[in-house]
Chain A
């Protein structure tokens, strides 16, 4: 049962990634693209967790943690670039 649920869940996340990708491609506003990218990161974290569960392996945890911790840095940087041009002032 869990196996099926895991695969359904992974399928959902994959679909979510596709939807993010569509928004990223489409835009139209820069804000939309950044949101889409940010969401992709979140979905990627979800996917990593699922991969870990599917494989019965918790060694991927750090990757998810790292992504949660630093994934937003690029989002912020993209935003700051638009807002200020110079991301470090």
Chain B
């Protein structure tokens, strides 16, 4: 039992750490900012998740206590990580738009305009009373 647990824990540890490392490696090696954004915001979700699972299992086997509070870390990260990514992407879009960035910003090129009226929110403030406009109530 404990051997299996040990193996599982070790595997989770290596998996998690490996994904964290790969994410950071992606941050280094991917060609431009938008692509680099994918590295960490992806790999760290599973990376940290695996580590946390390992932790849960570890404390159960070692200290005999059930610690589920690691899940909370994941919960918070799930709430916050997309926001960070979104904001950073916005920064990037904005900087490209105002010409503050000279090198190619993405393999994908500049973003296409949305089909509807108006532009992306970063370039054009959302008007009142639509889902994209918040906090002006």
Contacts and interface: CB of A to CB of B under 8 A. Distances in A.
- Judge A-B direct contact (beta carbons within 8 Å): yes
B60 to A, nearest CB: 11
Interface in A48-62: 49-50, 52-53, 56, 58, 61
B24 A43 contact: yes
B32 to A, nearest CB: 8
Bin the interface of chain B by size. 35 or more
Contacts of B89: 31
Interface residues of A, number: 51
Contacts, number: 171
**Pairs A-B, 9 closest by C-beta atoms:** A9-B17, A16-B24, A12-B17, A5-B10, A39-B40, A79-B87, A72-B80, A31-B92, A68-B76
6 contacts: A2-B58, A5-B9, A29-B101, A39-B23, A56-B63, A65-B72
Given A2-B6, A29-B95, A79-B90, 5 more contacts: A16-B21, A22-B28, A49-B55, A49-B70, A53-B58
